[in-house]
Amino acid sequence: MEFDYLATVLLSSLASASILLIATIGLAVVFGLMGVINLAHGEFLMIGAYTALTATQAGVPFLLSIPIAVAVTMAIGAVIEILVINRLYGRIFDTMLATWGISIAFYQLAVLIFGTVTPGIGMPQYSIKIGDYNLAGYSLLMIFVAALMGSFVYLLMTRTVYGMKARASIQEPAMARAIGIESSRVNTMTFSLGCGLAGFAGAILLPIVPATPSMGFAFVIKAFLTVVVAGPVTLTGSAIAAIGLGGGASITASFLTSVAGDVFFFLITAVLLWLFPLGITAGWRRKM
């Protein structure tokens, strides 16, 4: 195996893992901080993608369309939290069922609004060359985006007043309320933040994954498994799980077949959950 092939495989596998992490963080925040499994996560990603797409079609530069996508998904997330999720805290299966229903409704809404096919915006035609191999520049950029996104959420949750309130509202809701934290509002904010992160992911990944009504399905299974493998220390755990599972699957796919890559992902997930039923970070003493 030549050195240049090995280098491109490693770099692009890291990029694959980063894409998985970008798509997962929003889910991780909502699950980790609220104990809510948001099965409509993929659809928020889709909404983010369509918002960014619509904005760019209206003449907004792509970079500016990303904050617009975040704002729109956060707003929709907040409404969903107030109308639905709010009433279902602590009932994990009911929230799963409700968010699943929401995902189906959003999917069909997208079909009705945008039709089944909409023009994509394509990736910047910029690539770098390592020996004989080319790598798309935009995919590599995702490594930095994932790192930035991870640090942003980590700092937000550990270094800001909101972050402390958010963790307090979920871990000790009664105590949090007793000391004057309006926990229901904080929960709305956290759910909305998780949806905003999904919207960000949909927008930033738009050049790589074209916006289609069904795009959420492709992400939600692997994102969900990543969060489950991660366990209670969600953010660090998700980063490790994404790199291990996503990167490992990509390396396997590069040397064997794409099917082997998927088999790797699901097999390792099963083995890890067998060894660590509560997730790989179950015994850790970290906050995020």
Partner 1 sequence: MKTRAIKIGLLASVCLVTGVQAEVKIGAIYDLTGGLNIYGIQQNNALKLAVDNINSNGGLLGEQIQVVGYDAQSELSKYTQYVNTAILRDKIDALFAGLTSSSREAIRPIVRKANIPYFYASLYEGGACDKQTFVTGTSASQQLSVLIEWGIRKYGPKIYIMAPDYNFGTISAHWVHEFANQSGGEVVGEDFLALTVTDYAPTIQKIQAAKPDFVVALPVGANQTGFLEQFAAAGLKEKIGVVSTNYGSGNQQVVVSPAAGKELIASQGYFQQVENPANAKFVEMWQAAYGDDTPIVSGAVDTWNAVNLWAQAVSQAGTTDADEVIKALESGMTFDSPTGPVQLSPGSHHLIQTIFVAEGDDNHGFKIVDEFVGIKPTYEDQKCDLIENPDLAKHFTPDQN
- Give me the residues that bind partner 1 (CB under 8 A), please: 5, 8-9, 12-13, 15-16, 19, 108, 111, 115-127, 132-139, 207-210, 212-215, 217-219, 221, 250-251, 253-254, 257-259, 261-262
Smallest gap from residue 3 Cβ to partner 1 (A)? 13
Distance in Å, CB of 104 to partner 1, minimum: 10
Of the pair 88, 140, the CB lying nearest partner 1 is at 140
For partner 1, the closer CB: 186 or 228 = 228
Q: How far is the CB of 109 from partner 1 (least distance, A)?
A: 11
Nearest-approach distance from CB 143 to partner 1, in angstroms? 12
User: What minimum distance in Å lies between the beta carbon of 288 and partner 1?
Assistant: 26
In the complex, minimum distance from the CB of residue 106 to partner 1, in angstroms, rounded to a whole number: 13
Closer by beta carbon to partner 1, 160 or else 258:
258
Instruction: Pick between residue 12 and residue 238 the one whose CB is nearest to partner 1.
Output: 12
Q: Closer to partner 1 at the Cβ: 171 or 258?
A: 258
Residue closer to partner 1 by CB (options 131, 283) is 131
What is d(CA 160, CA 138) in angstroms, rounded to the nearest whole number? 32
